[in-house]
Amino acid sequence: MICDAVPLPILGCDHALRACSAWEPSIAVAANPGRPGEETIVVAFIASDITSRPWRPSGRTNAGRLERSAGEMNGRSPPSPEGPSKRVSFAYGVRPGPGGPIRWSPGRALAPCENEEMVAAANASVAAGPDGVFYCAILLETHPISVRFFRSAYVGEELVFNQIGAHLAFDGKPWIVVDNSKGPGRGTVYLTFTHKEPGGACPLCQLTRSTDRGETWLPPVSLPYSLGAHTRMAIGPDSEVYVAGHTCSASRCPDGTGFRVLKSTNAYTREASFSEMCTPCPVSLGGEWTGVANGCPNGKNLGQIWIACDNSAGPFRGSLSLACSVDPPGADPMDVMFAWNRGDGSAWTSPVRLNGDNAEAWQWFGTMSMAPNGRIDVVWNESQNASCTTSQLMYAYRVAGKTSWSRPATITNSWTMGTGWHIGGYYHMVSDDAGADLAIARVDKGPCGVGRNVYYLRINARP
């Protein structure tokens, strides 16, 4: 089973600039309300109009950290004198019906754009609402760092994003989801972000939400624990909101380290309150979350936690699933692990390893999504050699109503990562009952030579 990886068209602000490289994609899919049966797929990503600057390992520091090369900006550093090195752009595809051929179009860059201040944009998060409208949140590396929020509209045949409201004074990677359930919070847009006090060691996770499609935002709620910049959310069938994350290192945070899951039944109201959803706490995924890997295989980020809630009418309705690439005990540096909870307050299952591994290989960028019928899809990059320079994409699934997993399948050919490259912090996948839409980045030959490029893949579920 090898999927075709479709390179996505990338344009700059004025439809004239061709971006040289793109990475860290986010994907969303929605039915087109005006055209029955037709779907729109949006992939937003970081793009650069200049040649990619790979990450450069600076040697083994005691923290294993990597420093960026001169052309790449640290999150709080001023823009480089050559102008913005990064912007957020998008591409969109129209699928006429299930299984139909997708017609891709380049979208205009969202930010920064022509005649704007010289800032860089990073970390796009895109999601679709029940009315077929897409939302996109973007971290802007201004001073101070802020978030912009965009809403889609069709202008003639072209899909565009328009900025809604003022810059949000948030200073960490945003992630958004929309409540597509039939519960009382349907249509609410949720946004998590991290906030770090000046001089503070520990990033705090906050959540805000909009009940008017991004026009206004309710006051942010500070979430318990020091969940870092890698939180993800899931919506339950009755508009419950779940937030999964990982507390930062035990030495820096009073809460200790580990995976946490929080639940709110009233997050769409001003009274939003969250409680723990973990028995025991923290939740075990059979290893440690690892953010830094000494340049192997992806510069620094190796993935993050994903959470999904079963919204099907099946026997597992309301159940929760967690998946993440973690470092298991022993010499093996990374596996993709999964744990499951019935959503009724009972204990999480023991973690399950989804990959096979006879060679202590890296299974990184573990990415999970759940179909409306309850099927769970997980993909990951699997390195095939100790130097981590070559990876291929793997896929496993759990059919609705079952607790056993498929054997892993290879779904792309190998690609060479190369030393020093960084393709962002995650992949992103959206599942439907017939398969999954997946956006990835990898390093290969692009319009300006070897660099980072984004691709779309369709995974068809086994009947």
Q: Taking CB under 5 A as the rule, does residue 288 contact Ca ion?
A: no
Q: Are the beta carbons of 336 and 321 closer than 8 angstroms?
A: no
C-beta of 341 vs 381, nearer to Ca ion: 381
Q: Are the beta carbons of 176 and 191 closer than 8 angstroms?
A: yes
Find the Cα–Cα–Cα–Cα dihedral 353, 245, 385, 7, rounded to 10°.
110
Cα–Cα dist 266/369, whole Å: 24
Cα–Cα dist 248/24, whole Å: 22
C-beta of 177 vs 361, nearer to Ca ion: 361
C-beta of 319 vs 355, nearer to Ca ion: 355
Q: Taking CB under 5 A as the rule, does residue 38 contact Ca ion?
A: no
C-beta of 201 vs 386, nearer to Ca ion: 386
Cα–Cα dist 151/163, whole Å: 6
CB of 365 to Ca ion, least distance (A): 13
- Taking CB under 5 A as the binding criterion, the range among 288-296, 343-351, 362-370, 453-461 that sits at the site for Ca ion is 362-370
Q: Are the beta carbons of 241 and 220 closer than 8 angstroms?
A: no
Which amino acid is present at 458?
R
In terms of Cβ atoms closer than 10 Å to its own Cβ (0-12, 13-18, 19+), residue 39 is buried
Q: How far is CA 296 from its chain centroid?
A: 20
Q: Taking CB under 5 A as the rule, does residue 357 contact Ca ion?
A: yes
CB of 385 to Ca ion, least distance (A): 13
C-beta of 25 vs 295, nearer to Ca ion: 295
- Taking CB under 5 A as the binding criterion, the range among 302-310, 354-362, 372-380, 446-454 that sits at the site for Ca ion is 354-362
CB of 260 to Ca ion, least distance (A): 22
C-beta of 276 vs 357, nearer to Ca ion: 357
Q: Are the beta carbons of 75 and 145 closer than 8 angstroms?
A: yes
CB of 244 to Ca ion, least distance (A): 22
- Total residues contacting Ca ion by CB under 5 A comes to 6
Cα–Cα dist 163/397, whole Å: 37
Cα–Cα dist 358/453, whole Å: 30
b/e sequence 2-27, b meaning 16+ C-beta within 10 Å: ebebeebebbbbeeebebbbbbbbbb
C-beta of 363 vs 412, nearer to Ca ion: 363
C-beta of 273 vs 387, nearer to Ca ion: 387
The residue number whose beta carbon is nearest to Ca ion equals 357
For tokens 């890296």, name the residue.
Answer: 362
Residues 6+ apart with CB under 8 A from 142: 117, 119, 167
For tokens 């993909």, name the residue.
Answer: 379
Cα–Cα dist 332/363, whole Å: 10
Longest dimension (CA), the chain: 58
- Taking CB under 5 A as the binding criterion, the range among 126-134, 296-304, 357-365, 417-425 that sits at the site for Ca ion is 357-365
Q: How many CB atoms lie within 10 A of CB 77?
A: 12
Q: Which of residues 65-124 bind Ca ion (CB under 5 A)?
A: none
CB of 66 to Ca ion, least distance (A): 20
CB of 327 to Ca ion, least distance (A): 5
C-beta of 353 vs 458, nearer to Ca ion: 353
Nearest to 424 by CA among 453, 399, 383, 395: 453
CB of 330 to Ca ion, least distance (A): 5
CB of 11 to Ca ion, least distance (A): 38
C-beta of 179 vs 335, nearer to Ca ion: 335
CB of 382 to Ca ion, least distance (A): 8
Cα–Cα dist 395/376, whole Å: 11
CB of 303 to Ca ion, least distance (A): 12
Compute the C-alpha angle 425/48/427, nearest 5°: 25
Rg, Å, the chain Cα set:
20
C-beta of 324 vs 371, nearer to Ca ion: 324
- Taking CB under 5 A as the binding criterion, the range among 60-68, 179-187, 213-221, 361-369 that sits at the site for Ca ion is 361-369
The percent of the chain in helix, strand and coil, each rounded to the nearest 5, is: 0, 45, 55
Cis, bond preceding 351 (omega within 30 deg of 0): no
C-beta of 335 vs 377, nearer to Ca ion: 335
Binding mask 311-350 for Ca ion (x = CB under 5 A): ----------------x----x--x---------------
- Taking CB under 5 A as the binding criterion, the range among 12-20, 226-234, 336-344, 360-368 that sits at the site for Ca ion is 360-368
CB of 51 to Ca ion, least distance (A): 33
CB of 145 to Ca ion, least distance (A): 34
Residues in the site for Ca ion, rule: CB under 5 A?
327, 332, 335, 357, 361, 363
